[in-house]
Chains A and B, each alone.
Chain A
Amino acid sequence: MLSHPDGLKYVKSHEYVRVEGDVAVIGITAFAADQLGDVTFVELPKVGANFKNEQKFGVIESVKSVSDLFMPLSGEVIAVNEELNSEPELVNADCYNKGWMLKVKMADAKELDSAMDAEQYKKFIAE
């Protein structure tokens, strides 16, 4: 079964956020990875880039599709997962850990108040 762990925040565009102090670790959910199928390429921004909530921050390609990636909050990118350059399949294998995409210094943690918790997200994707 697809896993959507407790303790993470989820948004409707199928990114998750794991809060670590004032840093947000961002990636796509297991549901999204499963829908995409085999991920073949992830295009991520440079460290230092600033994004607003819901702004497009990258592109993810699977064998059959191309999809945009959207910010679940505002902030400055302080790290990107370089391993996805050579191993994009980590997004399918382990989206919450080795398949993370961005670490962002959050501009306003309150933005996450409107994000979903795991239970709400599971209901959202079942609709």
Chain B
Amino acid sequence: MTSTTTLKETPLAACHRELGAKMVDFAGWNMPVQYKSIIAEHMATRQKAGIFDVSHMGEFIVQGPQAFDFIQHVIANDLNKLEAGDCALYSQLCYEDGGTVDDLIVYKRKAENDFLLVVNASNIEKDWAWLQKNKGAYDCTLTDISDKTSLIALQGPNAETILAKIAGDSIKQIPFFGYGRATVDGVAFSFGRTGYTGEDGFEIFVPNEKAAWLWGRLLQDGAEYGVEACGLGARDTLRLEAGLPLYGHELDADISPIESGLGWSVKPEKGDFIGQKPLAEQKAGQVQRKMVCLKGEGKAAPRQGYAVFDGDKQVGVVTSGAPGVYVGYPIAFALVDKASAKVGTELAIAIRDNKVKAQVVSRPWYKASKK
């Protein structure tokens, strides 16, 4: 057995052990991969509700007169989309060549020039160094609050009902990608109406010392609405089925957001930012590779690194793959030559000794039905 003494733990580690979670090393954190079953947790989130400890994620605050200008300089999306306060934007940090440093959510809070960046746990140090390196003369301050802040995601069709029961009906007014605040039992917390599962839901920021209280309330008040504690295993299968990218798979230093099919979130026309030129060229059509969604035949699941063929020719590689737990067939993201990327194209994935048929399908595999 490997020693866990050097792994970091979130303030909810004791809660996870109490629930019998299987803990694994994820990006240096001792995190729950599952409690009872990935499939049961996946289905609970699709059909009722799931809660996820994602406190390992990074949170940076950017404040000051040029906070807006600085963020606009480092992200690929257009921060002007956040006209009103209290809303969020999905974006990426890119290198000069258009490759991806990380993807993130930028929250604009009530005050002008007051932003919260939420970044991937595995990239906290890299992102921090990248932001510091590029801050230059921008008049703003960066504060890393990752170690003080816990983050709990409440996801699923019953998420709104559960949070309203705890925090009041006013939370129902918060739109998708909106940001809100509540005070319950004297505890102040904030939340974005965001998530990483393809379901409606909230990602709730709470001070570390109140994380266990909130986790307990969500489990207790959510019980009548079928809430289940869910681990990183279900988080990964849920995000994949919903067609959401994961850094290190669909985005990387050598995979740009355009290649990854995220062109809707890349705005070269907004003006100068890091990576603007190559991303503008790529968005105008100068890409060789495209991220596609594959629907596999049979039962064997494609996995990261498996080769993808168009006839006898290898045209790409799987970046993420799994059994589609809710949709009921194997699914995979694959980065393939542009010529083989059209929806409807019949490709094949090398799974061990077999070439298994897989069709390019439209993104995503799963979309929640509107209420």
Contacts and interface: CB of A to CB of B under 8 A. Distances in A.
B300 A37 contact: no
B300 A63 contact: no
Interface stretch (B32-40, B48-56, B195-203, B216-224): B32-40
Contacts of A110: none
Given A37-B233, A40-B323, A59-B352, A66 B38 contact: no
A117 interface: no
A63 B299 contact: no
Nearest to A43: B300
B116 to A, nearest CB: 31
Given A63-B322, A63-B323, A38 B39 contact: yes
A127 B39 CA distance: 29
Interface in A33-47: 37-38, 40-41, 43
A59 B301 CA distance: 12
Interface in B298-353: 299-301, 303, 322-323, 325, 352
Interface string B9-41: 000000000000010000000000110011100
A37 B234 CA distance: 12
Contacts of A59: 300, 352
B301 A40 contact: yes
Interface of B is mostly: mixed
B260 interface: no
B352 A63 contact: no
A123 interface: no
Interface string A53-70: 000000101111010000
B158 interface: no
B303 A63 contact: no
Contacts of B233: 37, 63-64
B237 interface: yes
A61 B38 contact: no
Interface in A61-106: 61-64, 66, 85, 88
A104 to B, nearest CB: 22
Contacts of B1: 127
Contacts of B303: 66
Contacts of B237: 63
B352 A38 contact: no
B249 to A, nearest CB: 14
A64 B352 CA distance: 16
A46 B105 CA distance: 51
Given A38-B38, A59-B352, A64 B300 contact: no
A43 B298 CA distance: 11
Given A37-B233, A40-B323, A59-B352, A64 B299 contact: no
A41 B299 contact: yes
Contacts of B301: 40-41, 61, 66
B298 to A, nearest CB: 8
Interface in B150-200: none
B30 to A, nearest CB: 17
A41 B37 CA distance: 16
Interface in B260-307: 299-301, 303
Which 9 A/B pairs are nearest by Cβ-Cβ distance? A63-B38, A41-B299, A38-B39, A40-B323, A38-B37, A41-B300, A38-B38, A64-B233, A37-B38
Given A41-B301, A63-B39, 5 more contacts: A41-B299, A61-B323, A64-B38, A66-B301, A66-B303
